[in-house]
Structure 1
Amino acid sequence: MKRIAIIRQKFNPAGGAERVVSAILRQLQGHAALHTLLINRKWEAVPGIEAHSVNPFYLGSVWRDWGFARAARRLWQALDAALVLSHERIPGCHVYRADDGVHAAWLDVRRQRGGIAARVSMALNPYHHYMLAMEQRMYRDPAFRGVVCISDMVKRDVMQYTGLPAERCHVVYNGIDSAFFNPRDARAQRDSLRQQYGLSADAPVLLYVGSGFERKGLAQALHAIVPHPAVQLVVVGSDKKSRHYQALASQLGVAGRVHFAGAQRDVRSYYGMADGFILPSIYEPFGLVVAEAMACGLTVLTSTRCGGGELLQPGQTGWLAAPDDKAAWQHNVGQWLAARASWPQRGEQARQAVLPYTEPRMVGQMLTLFATLLPDAEGLA
């Protein structure tokens, strides 16, 4: 039995990437040819999975990531892992799953949006220099075999910023647990949740889910509802600058229509209380919440820099706009409102669109890929 080491630093129940790692671990439990090892710094226990925590002393984010990378690599070598799937940028891994996209692409987005002060701040930030260096070293390491890209957008970014050829970039969409994320169960608490937030049964409600409000475009979502006084916006997620966004809602005159719910473990019920989903991300490698919302029967408004938008049929199951195109976002909210009579039918079409993307399919595609990338990995699929 071969050992596969899966690397991810920590677990955040609100994080899409972490939920995907958990799904991979679930699917690999009891695999006939594989013994799964989880190497982490901080994670919730996963029944049936051999977990190893490494958490060297550190001060600051650079030391933290560097120390974890060194310790994880020593451990997977000591455990004689035949295959190393890393969800962190660590030179020496066999396969990297680019849940977090390409750091160089993300920095380019921030440079384009920020002023001189922001650019200087990024240039002087040692963490960005560390991440860029690790990204390039990982892709050029002799042990590296390929990258799992979670969207076509990520594949294009990898090729553009690292020079990796297309044949080493493999698109595998995230798997969605559509049995769990379903309209009936999601809507079980619809009335009680709406009452909790003072929302009438017939109020048109858009839901935003995500932590890291800048990257996930909360400001654009606030601007998008301004010309549509009937629309309510529920914000699920946390951010250290939450007060800034609450102040922005007041400045825009929409504070009475924006409800900050904070981080929630039961996100499914919030999908069920809503009529549509909005995520104007400025850089989102996939956005598992987009697929989850669709599985719960919601149409989606998202950005052209969100990989999950590739699952939409624009104008039918959702609407796309460039992250910074304020007029387009306001127009799309208007289009969503105008389609109110067909929300149920469009929502069902959205659900049908994501049903093929199951967790077993995702893991099966990855195992098939591993068998082709590594000479000693035959029989994994």
Structure 2
Amino acid sequence: MNNGAPEFMIKLAIVRQKYRPDGGAERFVASALSALSQQNAEQPQQKAEQQQLDITVLTRQWQGIKNPSFHAEVCNPFKWGRVSRERGFARAVQKHFSSFDIVQSHERIPGCTIYRAGDGVHKCWLEHRSRITSEAQAKRMKNDRFHRYVMDAEKQMFEHPKLKAVICNSQMVKEEVCREFAIKPEIVHVIYNSVNQEKFNPALKQAEGLVVREALGIEADATAMLFVGSGFERKGLAATLEAIAVTKAHLIVVGKDKQEEKYQQQARDLGCAERVHFMGMQSDSSRFYGAADGFILPTIYDPFPNVILEAMASGLGVITSSSCGGAEIIEEGCNGYFCDALDIPTLSSAINAFTDKGHAESLGMMARETIKPFTSERLTNQLLSLYSQILNT
């Protein structure tokens, strides 16, 4: 019942070029859709004017679950390269923008109402990446047609008059956005991702984790660090291997990379191959969190990877880099450690800290406490609050 109050349909679009259920951005989209669906369900109970939401996902490829609360519209123009792919999709969805009251984009597309900066700032990523490439490669990247397109699209989008809000998943990204673009800081919001604390929990160490350690031949008194992430260059696997090599710790690597063999060879060259276990892509990584004493991800640049939340929820202390948004919830020596992504001696020292099983357990307990507020309920409430602000302006 709407108690006789008039209803107003708010048409909202959520833009994600390729929707994969296992992606970090997609999990955030799922949370957003859940929040919006909840708002739809609760609105009829209000006695004030009704504002019902009609939700559409604009995408090239939809692999999501069918839900009566929203529908997907495929925009899949022909593409023949990276620039064509990005520009073609942007132009295709921009044609639909005028049909919606609010457009929340997870892609760099000028003219959207809300942008979720899940990939951070492209210029900042290139600057960090130049640290692990030659001077010639860094120069080529800076002048590359694709990278120039992305940076230009970012600038147009962040400085577009129709942009009413930016969602960042870390304070680090908010500071970068405010520093690099002419944008009002008050429209840039930090909303952290949530983590499933029932699936990822310290009890994993008592069951699945023991099975994994036994299968990999990792002794009970040995130290095992876990690395989870695909795209090994950006995630910092090379530095991780260098740091592991000068310790006695094992390293479990979960994720995929086209150049995995290169990293396997690096482990052999460093003399630690027998302690490095490449597990490839896993549909469910939870048991590997249970097998580890600590988590390491010295990423070259990452706004805030979900794997850090998963590790901490699983009761693991975390080692990460200062160029990772996740570092802002790390208290040095309390729930983990962070340092420069290429500081091998400090990374090795942090790994060695986990050889003290009592200390590793203490780090994990504090990590679990730190992560307790990162619930889906909090994320939903923050999203609903932001949507409410946008709808009422």
Same fold, TM exceeding 0.5? yes
Are 1:63 and 2:80 an aligned pair?
no
**1:27–1:359: 8 Å Cα contact kept in structure 2?**
no
- 1:285 aligned residue (303, 314, 326): 303
Q: Which piece of structure 1 moves more, 357-366 or 216-225?
A: 357-366
Correspondence for 1:87 among 100, 106, 110: 106
Is this contact kept in 1: 2:35–2:383, CA < 8 A? Answer: no
The residue aligned with 2:383 is 366
Tell me whether 1:178 sits opposite 2:197 in the alignment: yes
Q: What's 1:267 paired with?
A: 285
Cα distance in 2 for partners of 1:296, 1:26 equals 24
Counterpart AA for 2:188: C
Q: Which runs of 5+ in 2 are unaligned?
A: 1-8, 41-51
3-state SS of paired residue (1:175):
coil
Q: Please give the per-residue CA displacement for 1:262-283, whole angstroms capped at 9, x wherever unaligned.
A: 1111011111111110000010
Instruction: Quote the residue 1:246 is aligned against.
Output: 264
Could you give the per-residue CA deviations for residues 115-138 of structure 1, whole angstroms, max 9, x where no partner exists?
222123213421101100100010
1:157 aligns with 2:165: no
Give the counterpart letter for 2:56 in structure 1: L
One of 212, 222, 231 as aligned partner of 2:231: 212
Deviations 1:320-364 (A, max 9, x none): 1111111111111122223x2133333122112111111221232
Structure 2: how far apart are the matches of 1:342 and 1:57? 55
Larger radius of gyration: 2
The structure 1 residue matched to 2:10, chosen from 2, 5, 9, is 2
Q: Which residue of 2 aligns with 1:73?
A: 94
1: CA distance, partners of 2:35 / 2:226: 30
Shift of 1:196: 2.8
**Identity level (%):** 40
1:236 paired residue number: 254
| Structure 1 range deviating more: 303-312 or 116-125 | 116-125
Partner of 1:328, secondary structure, is helix
Offset of 1:312 from its aligned partner?
Answer: 1.7
Correspondence list, 1:78-157, <5 A: 80-157=99-176
Verify the 8 A CA contact 1:16 1:289 in the aligned structure 2.
no
Q: What letter corresponds to residue 255 of structure 1 in structure 2?
A: A
TM-score by length of 1: 0.92
Residue equivalent to 1:51? 72
User: Structure 1 residue 16 and structure 2 residue 24: aligned?
Assistant: yes
Shifted more, 3-12 versus 13-22: the winner is 13-22
In structure 2, the partner of 1:352 is 369
For structure 1, the residue ranges without an aligned partner over 5 or more in a row are: none
TM-score (norm 2): 0.90
**Structure 2 equivalent of residue 26 of structure 1:** 34
Alpha-carbon contact 2:17-2:61 (below 8 Å) kept: yes
The question of whether the paired residues in 1 share the 8 Å contact of 2:21 and 2:63 is answered with no
Map Cα deviations across residues 280-321 of structure 1 (whole Å, 9 max, x no partner).
001010111101110111110011111112122211110111
Letter of the structure 2 residue corresponding to residue 15 of structure 1: G
Deviations 1:71-126 (A, max 9, x none): 1222343xx32211111100010111110000011111123442222123213421
1:166 pairs, out of 181, 185, 189, with 185
Equivalent-residue separation in structure 2 for 1:250 and 1:14 (angstroms): 31
Q: Which moved more, 1:238-247 or 1:1-10?
A: 1-10
CA RMSD in angstroms, aligned pairs only: 1.8
Matching residue of 2:294: 276
Letter in 1 for 2:33: L
Aligned pair partner of 2:345 in 321, 324, 327: 327
CA drift at 1:185: 4.7
Q: 2:330 aligns with which of 302, 309, 312?
A: 312
The letter of the residue matching 1:257 is R
Say if 1:159 and 1:166, in contact at 8 Å, map to a contact too: yes
**Residue aligned with 1:282, SS:** coil
Q: In 2, Cα distance between the equivalents of 1:254 and 1:16?
A: 31
**Counterpart code for 2:291:** M
The answer to whether the 8 A contact 2:216-2:277 is kept is yes
Partners of 2:36 and 2:384 within 8 A in 1: no
CA distance in 1, matches of 2:374, 2:39: 20
Distance 1:113 1:344 in 2: 33
